[in-house]
């Protein structure tokens, strides 16, 4: 069946008790067991270890990502943390994309590093650089593609091959494109991760995360960590995310079309110094964008001529676009990563990987594109 059919029907069936077409919010801590011998015969024991509403979402995401099993978490960062803590031990070497969400960088530098994991940041856009950075004890490659906020792409198939030949796990943060446009497991990755906060929910209503595994052994290891570390998603968040997933393809198509029009508008604007959007032929990795994903997504960034001061004037004065963290929602958002999402990344490292001080990030929503462009036009005129 096609993606749009599966995003609605996969993982859910009308409630057997009442016929409720939506999976109920199973707000229960514990589950009565029929007898000692039949413990867990209905699949649930205690909501830290598993919850029927959360399970429905996990099954839906497994289907959409074309994986084997999924675990859902209280936040996207809980998902990142679960992956890193499940598959790495003291003495192991970890390779992380040198451009990644600031929270991932912060967790690696300020938490994981305390536990004896040797962390290196590599240019995952360049498979040769990754190959050269591999060591005998490399146990994981963690890539994010497109990367937040520079939009740099990593070649998922090439990195997966490198990881496989080293016996390492390759985890892809697939938040920006979602399984509608990009399915890392089909390209050879072992794990596909989401901040479901973003497009999977899509309505600025929740925070959550998910990890889909390509095989049951990896899936079981993540399930174990989900209950042991106590990082499971709540049933209300799972329920809202279940509803969000049903419109994923429609939202993504329209948001991406809006983003394409906005990127083209910005590229032609005399006050714009540069624009990065994978759907522009001028984008340095346009060919890779076309070959490993079926769409370009709705995230982009640009720099206003006049640098940081002009960019700040634009962000402080723009109408319609909300100045806020988050991305992927129906509301269009504008963000200054250097002071917001990536403030904890070392300034020299930010500069080295292209997170320039004047970078203005756009998460394009579902409003009428003419209105979004009008607002940008007015703000650029005043910048």
Ligand X SMILES: Cc1ncc(COP(=O)(O)O)c(C=O)c1O
Nearer to ligand X, 80 or 117 (CB): 80
Q: Quick check: helix, strand or coil at residue 201? A: coil
Residues with Cβ within 8 Å of 146's Cβ and at least 6 positions away in sequence, in order, are: 152, 153, 176, 177, 278, 289, 297, 299
**Is 39 considered catalytic here?**
no
Sign (positive or negative) of CA dihedral 114, 115, 117, 121: negative
Residue 117 or 237 with smaller CB distance to ligand X = 237
The first and second tokens of residue 121, run together, are 């940041």
State the Rg of the chain over Cα.
21
Give the Cα separation of 168 and 248 in Å (integer). Answer: 31
| Beta-bridge mates of residue 192 | 172, 212
Q: How far is the CB of 78 from ligand X (least distance, A)?
A: 7
Q: How far apart are CA 86 and CA 72, in angstroms?
A: 14
Tell me the closest approach of the beta carbon of residue 156 to ligand X, in angstroms.
15
Residue with smaller CB distance to ligand X, 56 or 77: 77
Beta carbons within 10 angstroms of residue 182's beta carbon: 24
Cβ 148 to ligand X, closest distance in Å?
A: 4
What is the closest distance, in whole angstroms, from the C-beta atom of residue 97 to ligand X in the complex?
10
Q: From the CB of 146, what's the least distance to ligand X, in Å? A: 9
Q: Is 173 a catalytic residue?
A: yes
Shortest approach of ligand X to residue 377 CB, angstroms? 27
Residue closer to ligand X, measured from CB, 93 or 342: 342
Residue with tokens 């938490």: 111
Kindly name the residue from 92, 98, 173, 201 that is annotated as catalytic. Answer: 173
Of the residues 198, 223, 251, 312, only one is catalytic, namely: 198
Identify which of residues 63 and 144 has a Cβ nearer to ligand X in the complex: 144
Strand, helix or coil at 175?
A: coil
In the complex, the residues that contact ligand X under the rule CB under 6 A are 75-77, 80, 101, 103, 144, 148, 173, 175, 195, 197, 207, 209
For ligand X, the closer of residues 92 and 144 by Cβ is 144
207, two tokens = 């925070």
**Active-site residue, from 6, 15, 48, 357:** 48
| Residue 101: active-site member | yes
Which residue, 67 or 103, is less far from ligand X as judged by CB? 103
The answer to whether the beta carbons of residues 47 and 75 sit under 8 Å apart is no
**Helix intervals (H) in 113-177:** 127-133, 156-166
Rounded CA-CA distance 112/98 in Å is: 16
As given in the structure block, the two tokens for residue 69 are 């099993």
**Buried/exposed 210-239: b ≥16 CB within 10 Å, e otherwise:** bbbbbeeebbebbbebbbeeebbbbbebbb
* Residue among 54, 31, 35 nearest 43 (CA): 31
Catalytic residue among 73, 101, 105, 181: 101
Give least dist CB 311 to ligand X, A: 20
Nearest residue (beta carbon) to ligand X: 76
Question: Rounded to an integer, what distance in angstroms lies between the CA atom of residue 280 and that of residue 167?
Answer: 36
Active site members: 48, 101, 173, 198
């Amino acid at each position: 069946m096609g993606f749009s059919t599966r995003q609605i029907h996969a993982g859910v069936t009308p409630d057997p008790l009442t016929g409720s077409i939506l999976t109920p919010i199973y707000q229960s801590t514990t589950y009565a067991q029929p007898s000692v011998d039949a413990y867990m015969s209905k699949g649930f024991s205690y909501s830290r270890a598993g919850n029927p509403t959360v399970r429905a979402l996990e099954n839906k995401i497994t289907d959409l990502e074309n994986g084997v099993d999924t675990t859902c978490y209280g936040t996207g960062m809980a998902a990142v943390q679960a992956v890193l803590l499940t598959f790495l031990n003291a003495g192991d070497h970890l390779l992380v994309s040198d451009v990644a969400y600031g929270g991932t960088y912060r967790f690696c530098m300020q938490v994981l590093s305390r536990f004896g994991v040797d962390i290196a940041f590599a240019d995952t856009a360049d498979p040769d650089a990754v190959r050269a950075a591999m060591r005998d004890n490399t146990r994981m490659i963690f890539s994010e593609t497109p990367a937040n906020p520079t939009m740099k792409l990593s070649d998922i198939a090439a990195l997966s091959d490198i990881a496989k030949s080293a016996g390492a796990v390759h985890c892809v943060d697939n938040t920006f494109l979602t399984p509608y446009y990009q399915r890392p497991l089909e390209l050879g990755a072992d794990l596909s991760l989401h901040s479901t906060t973003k497009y999977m929910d899509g309505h600025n209503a929740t925070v959550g995360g998910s990890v889909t595994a390509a095989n049951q052994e990896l899936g079981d290891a993540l399930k174990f960590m989900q209950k042991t570390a106590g990082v499971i998603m709540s049933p209300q968040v799972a329920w809202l995310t279940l509803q969000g997933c049903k419109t994923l393809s429609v939202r993504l198509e329209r948001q991406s079309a809006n983003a394409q029009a906005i990127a083209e508008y910005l590229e032609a604007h005399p006050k714009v110094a540069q624009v990065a959007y994978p759907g522009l032929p001028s984008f340095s990795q346009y060919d890779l964008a076309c070959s490993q994903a079926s769409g370009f997504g709705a995230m982009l960034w640009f720099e206003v001529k006049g640098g940081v001061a002009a960019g700040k004037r634009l962000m402080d004065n723009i109408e319609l676009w909300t100045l806020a963290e988050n991305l992927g929602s129906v509301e269009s958002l504008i963000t200054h990563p250097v002071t917001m999402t990536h403030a904890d990344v070392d300034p020299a490292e930010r500069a080295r990987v292209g997170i320039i001080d004047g970078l203005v990030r756009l998460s394009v929503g579902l409003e009428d594109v003419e209105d979004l462009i009008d607002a940008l036009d007015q703000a650029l005129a005043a910048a």
